Structure 1
């Protein structure tokens, strides 16, 4: 079975993961921190943005795949997957703070709502 929503979500997640990793490397280089966070707030912020992505994304991808098996071609599922990825980018940018700091809150809210919505949808689907 072809799972285009899952494949698209996984591809987007991989690209976001690469982007967050590069951002960590950039700030490590500019702040001259080779290992760990060096107690540097900029490095800590970028590392946490990347870590938060890797903490939340696997569960969402699993739920997207499971729901796509149950509901192939779901436009709603594709929309949730896209919104989740948008939220993760907003969170990553927002973690830098400053004028874009609101992105952290927006990204967090989108992430939590996407997970909750997918979980409820999965439970309802399982119960038939």
Structure 2
């Protein structure tokens, strides 16, 4: 079964991750730093932005996929998935700006809210689901 919402948001998340990774590569070239952060605060911020993304994205995508499989409303999955991508871009952008700033704070708070909503939705599906009948096979016998 194709999960179009989750697949689309996962693709967008992959692009965000590439953007975050490329910023680190640029910082490494700029500072001639092959390993570690070399004490470069911008590189540290970029590395943390990507690591933070990698810490949250799997939970969001797994919950979205399972909710979509369970028949969750695609409209709301699109809304939450799109908001997640925007929040993570804002957070990544904000991590390289002087703190505090709207991008970093909004991205973090937005991510937490989305994760909490998805977790609550998933729990709600589990505890409000009707009993699903077990699949049965019907055998038709033809006696001649």
Q: Give the TM-score normalised by the residue count of structure 2.
A: 0.84
Between the aligned partners of 2:17 and 2:62, the Cα distance in structure 1 is 17
Deviations 1:51-104, CA, capped at 9 Å, x for gaps = 000011001000000000112552011110010010000000000013893201
1:3-82 matched pairs, under 5 angstroms? 3-71=3-71, 74-82=74-82
CA distance in 2, matches of 1:114, 1:80: 6
Shift of residue 5, structure 1, vs aligned partner: 0.3
Moved more, 100-109 or 75-84: 100-109
Q: Distance in 2 between matches of 1:64 and 1:89?
A: 19
1:98 lines up with 2:98 in the alignment: yes
5+ residue gaps, structure 2: 129-144
Q: What is the alpha-carbon distance in structure 1 between the residues aligned to residue 106 and residue 56 of structure 2?
A: 15
Tell me the matched-pair count: 128
Q: Which has the larger radius of gyration?
A: 2
